Every structure is written in structure tokens, then in C-alpha cells.
Amino acid sequence: MGTAYHPPSSSTEWSTPEAFFKRLDDEFVFTLDLCATEDNALCGAFVDKEEDCLSVEWDWVAQDPKRYTAWMNPPWGRGVGKFVQRAYEQSKRHGLRVVCLLPANTDTKWWRDWVWRASEVRFVTGRLHFVCSDGRTGPCPTGACVVVFDPEDSGPPKCLLMERGT
């Protein structure tokens, strides 16, 4: 559901590139997509706009936190910081690993307040190409990173480079 690329379009929903997600999924084995629609969910379990991962408590995860590893590609607009804060807080509260695809906006308040509490930040080299619901792709207008919130670690994060891939 990330909205990283905004060409003239009637859609504001741009999905994670499949090959990029697969590389991360092979490593983390995601079971929950926190910002999805029925059409673009990358995991069998997902939270959509109606359920809203910002407002519902993720307490159902607490019943079996080892069962879940969450993927989050939030909308990349002005409210992205709320999603990053929520990912960190819920990770700690429920013992859940949350992996986020985010704009690499190191000069923002949300970055300073929340990303530096992550266990890991992987800066993506090159520009990702996001996918629109109609199949069109477009390059992200800014750099991207993958931020890992591990419930056992509160930063500062280990920083790495990650190849964009194809």
C-alpha cells in the first residue's frame, strides 16, 4: 500500500516490488502484511485500511508472537512517521519482529525518534520501482531503506547497504 511514487494517476496505492519483497521474505519468512489491500497483500494474513494498523491494538499477535513476522510498507506521505512509531511500539509491546520499507528520510523527526531505535537499517542502493494496481511501474522519487524492529533490541541500528536488485 506504500505510496512512494506519485505520477499523474487516479491511484495512490503503489505496491512493493515482488522480487524485492521475495528476497526479504526468504530471509524473514513474513506471515503478516500490515499495510495491504486484498489485491496487493503479500502475506496470507494482512491488515487493510478498514482494520487500520494505526488504531487497532495488535494484541492478537501477543497470543503467539513467534508465529508472526510482520511486513510493513506504509503510505510514504506526511503520516509515515505514525506508522514507524506504531511499528516500534507494537514490536516491543507484543514481542513481534516488524520489517518496514521506508523512505530514507534521515533528516526527519520520525527518523530521529523511531528509526534510530531499530535493530537494523538497510539502505537500498538505486531506486526501487513500485507497482500500481493496474500493473504500471514507476521509479521511487527518493531513496529507500528497510528498517528492522526486533523486540529484543532498541538500537542504535546496525546500518548496511542493500542492493535494489531487478
Residue-wise pLDDT for 18-61, tens only, equals: 899 999 999 999 999 999 888 888 988 888 888 888 988 777 76
- 14-163 CATH: 3.40.50.150
Task: Give residue limits of the domains in the chain.
Answer: 14-163
> Radius of gyration over alpha carbons of the chain, in Å?
15
pLDDT tens by residue, 56-92: 877 776 666 667 899 999 988 889 999 999 999 999 9
For residues 108 and 127, give the distance between their C-alpha atoms in angstroms, rounded to a whole number: 20
Predicted TM-score (pTM) of this structure = 0.87
pLDDT tens by residue, 132-159: 767 778 788 889 999 999 999 988 999 9
Cα pseudo-dihedral 77, 81, 86, 91, rounded to 10 = 110
Q: Which residue would you say has higher pLDDT here, 97 or 130?
A: 97
For residues 159 and 136, give the distance between their C-alpha atoms in angstroms, rounded to a whole number: 32
